[in-house]
Amino acid sequence: MTVLETRELTAFYGDFQALFGITFALEEGETVAIIGANGAGKSTFLKAITGLLPRASAAVRLDGRDIGALPAFEIVKLGVALVPEGRRLFPSLSVEENLLVGAYGRRLDGPWTLATIYRLFPMLRERRNAPSTTLSGGQQQMVAIGRSLMSNPRILLCDELSLGLAPIVIRDIYAALTDIKARGTSVVLVEQDLVHAMSVADRAYCFMEGRVSLTGRPQDLSRDAIHAAYFGL
Amino acid sequence: MILRLDNLTRSFGSLKAVDGVNLEVAQGEALGIIGPNGAGKSTLFNLVTGLLRPEAGSIWFDGRDITRAPPRVRCIAGIGRSFQIPHPFENLTVFENLLVAAIHGRRQREPQVVDACGDILEQTGLIAFANRRAGTLNLLGRKRLELARALAGAPRLLLLDEIAGGLTEAECAELVQLVQDINKSGMTIVWVEHVVHVLVAVVSRLAVLNFGRKIVEGEPRSVMASAEVREIYMGIAA
C-alpha cells in the first residue's frame, strides 16, 4: 500500500525553480533512497513534503489524502518526521531535552519512547544531561534521529545522515537504521553516499536538476546508468 | 597563459578550503570547474578576484603577479566575475546598472562607455529591458544582467559562478548559447557550475576540486568518466 506519494511536485525559491514535477511513491514498510549530485533538489524535496516550503495542495498525499496545504506542525502529527541535514539540534538544550522536543504531536501507538531510543543509542543515555553542543558529530546525528523518532513517525525522512561523519560512525548509524526499519517504519533516505544508501534501500530515485532521472531497485541499476543519471552525460 | 595559480592555499580555521591548487588558463579558453559542496570553488574565485587573500601561493594574471592587488585593481586589469546570487541595484534601470559597472570597471567617464553599454545590452538580450528597473526582472533576466554587468568592465577573463540553476530547459539553453557566443568572441572563461551537462557542452577543459585540492583535470568527457569523479560524487570506484 502506498503511504506517501507526490504527483508532479514543483518547488520554488522565489522564482528559482528547484523541483520540476517530481512523481514519487513510498510503500508501507519500504526504504527508498534519493540520490543525486549536489543541487539536484533532494533536500528541497524533503522540505516540500514536510511543509517547510510552499507547494501545490494536491501534489503531496499521505494515505491518499492531500496534505500539500498543511503546515509542518500538522504533518508531524500525521506521522511524517524529518531528520534535517546538519542535525540542527537546539544548542541550548541537553540531549534529553532535545529528544523531548521531538515528542511534540506524538502519536501514542508507536514503539518509540526515551527508553527505546536509549536502547537504540546507549551512548545517548550516558550523555543524557550533557549539552548537545558537547557531543561528537556522530552522537549529534543520533540525537537528531532520536528526536524525530520521539513523534513515533510512520514515515522517517532522513537528509544526509552520513554527512561529515567518519566511516565507522556511519556504519553505526546505518545499523540503527536497520533496527528502525524492523519496527515497520517507512524510510526515505537522501544521501550522497551511494554505497550506504543502496545497501539499505529497497528502491532508489536519482534526481538531476529537480527532475527524476532514474528509478529502480539498487541491484537493477548499473553504475553507468547511475553515472548518466547524476550528470546527464 | 592569461591566468596562472601557483600552489594557491587558503584556510578557514583548521579547514583548508583551497589547498595547494595549481591551475593554468590559456587566452581564449573556456575552463569548467566542478566539485561537491564545500570543495573550495567559490573560495578559489574569491582568491582570484581578491575578495580573499591566500596564505600561500601566487596568482598571475597576464604575466603580472596580482597576489596582493586589491579587487578594484584586478577588475580594472581585466578580471570580471558573476555572482551565484545576483545583487543588482534594484532601483536603478538595467542600463544604469551597466553604466555603474562600466564607469568603475574601466575607469572611464559616462560619455565614453554609453555606446559599449548599449552593445552589451544588445549582446545579452536585454536591450528591450534597458529602461526597466532591475528589481522587476525575472530570474533569467537577472542572470542576463549579472553577465552583462561582468562584461561592462571590459574584462579579458570572465569568471562565472553557477549561472545555470533554477531555469527551465529552454531558458537554460538560451543562457548557454549566450555564454558560448561570449567565448567565441575571444573571451577567456572560467566557469563553476553544478549543472554538469550544460558545462560540458561549452568548456574545452574541466578541473575537479574536492576538499580544496585539484583532483583531476582534462578533456571534459573523459574527466567525467574518470574513477576520481565517480569516487567523489557517488562514493564508488569505477
Of B105, B196, B85, the C-alpha closest to B157 is B105
CB A94 within 8 A of CB A131: yes
Decide if A194 touches B, using CB distance below 8 A: yes
Q: Distance (Å, rounded) from C-alpha B17 to C-alpha A205?
A: 31
SS3 state at B80: strand
Beta bridge partners of B44: none
ipTM score of the complex?
Answer: 0.73
Q: Which amino acid makes up residue A95?
A: V
Q: Distance (Å, rounded) from C-alpha B125 to C-alpha B128?
A: 8
Confidence check: pLDDT of A40 > 70: yes
Provide the shortest C-alpha distance from residue A167 to chain B (in Å). 12
Judged by CB atoms closer than 8 Å, whether chains meet at A233 and B234 is answered as: no
- What residues of A are in contact with residue B238 (Cβ under 8 Å)? 223
pTM for the full predicted model: 0.83
In chain A, the residue whose alpha carbon lies closest to the alpha carbon of B172 is: A209
Phi, psi of A92 (to 5 degrees): -85, -5
- What residues of A are in contact with residue B166 (Cβ under 8 Å)? 13, 15-18
Q: What is the mean pLDDT of residues A95-110?
A: 90
Helix (H) or strand (E) holding B230: helix B227-234
Q: Which amino acid makes up residue B118?
A: G
Confidence check: pLDDT of B238 > 50: no
Provide the shortest C-alpha distance from residue A182 to chain B (in Å). 26
In this complex, the residue of B139, B165, B236 whose CB is nearest that of residue A15 is: B139
Report chain A's mean pLDDT, rounded to a whole number: 93
Model confidence at A139, pLDDT cuts 50, 70, 90, reads very high
What are the residues of chain B with a beta carbon less than 8 Å away from any beta carbon of chain A?
36-37, 138-139, 165-168, 194-197, 200, 221, 224-225, 230, 233-236, 238
In chain B, the residue whose alpha carbon lies closest to the alpha carbon of A162 is: B235
The pLDDT value given to residue B236 = 62
Judged by CB atoms closer than 8 Å, whether chains meet at B200 and A15 is answered as: no
Decide if A161 touches B, using CB distance below 8 A: no
SS3 state at B48: helix
Model confidence at B134, pLDDT cuts 50, 70, 90, reads very high
Decide if A17 touches B, using CB distance below 8 A: yes
% of chain A at pLDDT higher than 70 = 100
Confidence check: pLDDT of A101 > 90: yes
Judged by CB atoms closer than 8 Å, whether chains meet at B168 and A20 is answered as: yes
CB B8 within 8 A of CB B21: yes
Count the residues in chain B.
238
Q: How does pLDDT run across B11-37, given as a tens digit for each residue?
A: 998 889 999 999 999 999 999 999 988
DSSP state of B83: -
Model confidence at A132, pLDDT cuts 50, 70, 90, reads very high
Model confidence at A78, pLDDT cuts 50, 70, 90, reads very high
In this complex, the residue of A13, A15, A233 whose CB is nearest that of residue B196 is: A233
- What residues of B are in contact with residue A194 (Cβ under 8 Å)? 234-236
Q: Distance (Å, rounded) from C-alpha A64 to C-alpha B209?
A: 44
Decide if A38 touches B, using CB distance below 8 A: yes
